[in-house]
């Protein structure tokens, strides 16, 4: 079953257990919130609202509250000694969809325990390095640390070439002998 709901001026197509970021919604991590503006519900049959479906809600668990990357708006008017620099970080909420409800049912406010992963899924993270695991944080430093580790490993192996040194007898650029 899937649903399309609206929050923060945007529409999202979701199914149960989907994780997505939406514009900031009030709620502490671990809390269950409900989105009431459900535009469409699909599954066995398709229900389309005009504009919304009455009695339909999408329940979600708040995983984290965060802020996006910094956006810098820099405006300069040349030859006028006029410039303006403004920064902005958009706030967001990371949510996991718990259930899609119809016919006026209310969401279960207790957080459901997550299903236990299969033994094969447990073995895979143990073999992979901790740096490769994605984090819920926006600033992911795993890629930069992995890049640094690869560069140092390549330097030790001698695979990175250094720029060639200039010959001492060559004339400077732009001038003739």
**119 within some domain:** no
Domain count, the chain: 1
Question: Measured between alpha carbons, how far is 53 from 48 in angstroms, rounded to an integer?
Answer: 7
Q: pLDDT tens digit string along 134-158? A: 444 444 555 566 666 666 666 565 5
Residue 30 lies in a domain: yes
Residue 125 placed within a domain: no
Per-residue pLDDT tens over the stretch 6-52: 999 999 999 999 999 999 999 999 999 999 999 999 988 999 999 99
Mapped onto helix, strand or coil, the DSSP state of residue 152 is helix
Q: 47 lies in a domain? A: yes
**Residue at 91 is within a domain:** yes
Residue 18 is assigned to a structural domain of this protein: yes
d(CA 28, CA 80): 48
Segments forming the whole domain that contains residue 54 = 2-106+136-155
Inside any domain, residue 115: no
pTM above the 0.75 mark?
no
- Residue 104: pLDDT band (50, 70, 90) is confident
């Amino acid at each position: 079953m899937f649903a399309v709901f609206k929050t923060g001026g945007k529409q999202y197509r979701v199914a149960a257990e989907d994780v997505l970021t939406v514009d900031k919604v009030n709620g502490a991590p671990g809390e269950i919130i409900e989105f009431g503006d459900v535009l469409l519900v699909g599954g066995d049959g398709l229900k389309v609202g005009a504009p919304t479906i009455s009695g339909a809600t999408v329940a979600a668990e708040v995983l984290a509250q965060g802020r996006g990357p910094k956006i810098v708006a820099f405006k300069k008017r040349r030859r006028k000694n006029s410039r303006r620099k403004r920064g902005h970080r958009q706030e967001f909420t990371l949510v996991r969809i718990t259930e899609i409800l119809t016919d006026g049912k209310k969401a279960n406010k207790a957080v459901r325990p997550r299903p236990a992963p299969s033994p094969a899924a447990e073995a895979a993270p143990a073999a992979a390095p901790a740096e490769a695991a994605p984090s819920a944080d926006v600033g992911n430093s795993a890629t930069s640390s992995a890049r640094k580790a690869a560069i140092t490993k390549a330097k030790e192996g001698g695979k990175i070439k250094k720029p060639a040194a200039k010959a001492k007898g060559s004339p400077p650029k732009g001038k003739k002998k």
